Structure 1
Amino acid sequence: MPRFSAGEREIIRQRLMREGERLFAAFGVKKVTVDEIVRATGIAKGTFYTFYPSKEHLYLDIAGNLQLQMWRDMDAFLKEHRALPPRALCKGCFLWMFDELQRYPMLRQADGETADYLYRKLPPEAIEAHTQDDRRELARLEEFGIRFACGPEIATKALQTLAVAFLNLQQEGADSRQAVMEIILDGVLKELIVDEDH
């Protein structure tokens, strides 16, 4: 098994993240092979497997980092709009996030088929770790007065499902997509977010 210094490990990890994101954005997780990833990064196949057990694990790691970056960018939106009632603020956040997807080609090309593929290929603990990351970020919304009626676990899973559904709408025209997203968000958030008056 190859041994790398901490600096070498970080350089290789960054290359895997960068080239993996580029390849997954261009071709999707199903079509990209580990051979293509190692060729693009200039590392041996064995080296790849010292970092990730599969290309799907790499994909999930990249997606998690991109989502984390998006959540961090959303802080400015939250601070600017914190005077909105909680449900309107949450709705604005999710509409903002879907607009932001244009900056993240790998996330933008994901859809329900991608999610199904990852659920089949990845062990449940990998999916659960990703869900925990989403749950932790969603809990930060409480700092802005957004309280979930059903608890953070159910809210996280509901909003993850909603996100996949919205990704499937990307083929629609912008006006139609926006209208559908707003109708669905209004209904879901009415059930998820504690009413401002209570």
Structure 2
Amino acid sequence: MPKGFNENEKQKINEMILTEGRKLFSSYGLKKTSIKDITSAVGIAQGSFYIFYSSKEALYFAILEQEEQKIKEHFIDSNLTKAQSPKKALKDLLHQAIQLVEENVFIRQIYLDNNMEAILRKLPKEALEEHFQKDSDSLLPLIHKWQNEGIILQKNPDVIAGIFRSLFLLTLHKEQIGVAVYHQTLEFLINLIVDGMVIKEDLT
């Protein structure tokens, strides 16, 4: 029977589970990391894990959301109105965000060894829908701001958010796109997206 924890203990243990889970998943991947590996690293009984997460896939997904949030914050904190050329600023911003995705070991792991398939099987549909909705919700204020300032087209903000999400998803399919043409493909798509979306050439 798992030990009962007070709220303060739960918070600290959950932080440890997230930290140790991130280390183990990044080093060994989802399939080769067991719940026992995680609980041993944290120092709790194996049964206590289920107080916090229904499965190791649920933990993996929680860490993934944390990693994605770091990248979204970088994107959201941008201010195109301070740039002389909004087009160049947005292209640079997309390149920087894509580089953060490509360099993030944890995010890269999700498509290795069919990790995504394992997660999709284990997570409830509602959790995935909530995740995608949070993606859109985090981008919408920024998109509305750019539209109100006359920087980008007055198109459906949800569609624009979907375009940005689609671009980042492409970074996880380098082999399918073709390694030899991957970077040129992304560069071409970024140019097409920004050139077609940004209204103002400069703010001078």
Q: Which residue of 2 aligns with 1:196?
A: 199
Distance 1:82 1:13 in 2: 40
Distance 2:126 2:82 in 1: 35
Query: SS of the residue aligned with 2:172?
Result: helix
CA apart distance, 1:53: 0.8
Larger CA deviation: 182-191 vs 21-30: 182-191
Distance 1:42 1:148 in 2: 53
**Cα distance change, pair 161–74 in 1 and its aligned pair in 2 (3 A):** closer
Q: Which residue of 2 aligns with 1:71?
A: 72
User: Which of residues 182, 185, 192 is equivalent to 2:187?
Assistant: 182
CA apart distance, 1:188: 4.8
Q: Which amino acid aligns with 1:67?
A: E
Residue identity (%): 25
Q: How many residues align?
A: 191
User: What are the residue-to-residue correspondences of 1:49-68 with 2, within 5 Å?
Assistant: 49-68=50-69
Distance 1:169 1:105 in 2: 15
TM-score for both structures, normalised by structure 2: 0.76
CA apart distance, 1:75: 4.7
Q: Is the contact made by 1:70 and 1:100 (CA closer than 8 Å) also made in structure 2?
A: yes
TM-score for both structures, normalised by structure 1: 0.78
Structure 1: runs of 5+ lacking an equivalent: none
Larger radius of gyration: 2
User: Which of residues 151, 169, 172 is equivalent to 1:167?
Assistant: 172
Distance 2:166 2:76 in 1: 23
CA apart distance, 1:22: 0.8
Is residue 31 of structure 1 aligned with residue 57 of structure 2?
A: no
Q: Is the contact made by 2:36 and 2:46 (CA closer than 8 Å) also made in structure 1?
A: yes
Distance 1:139 1:123 in 2: 25
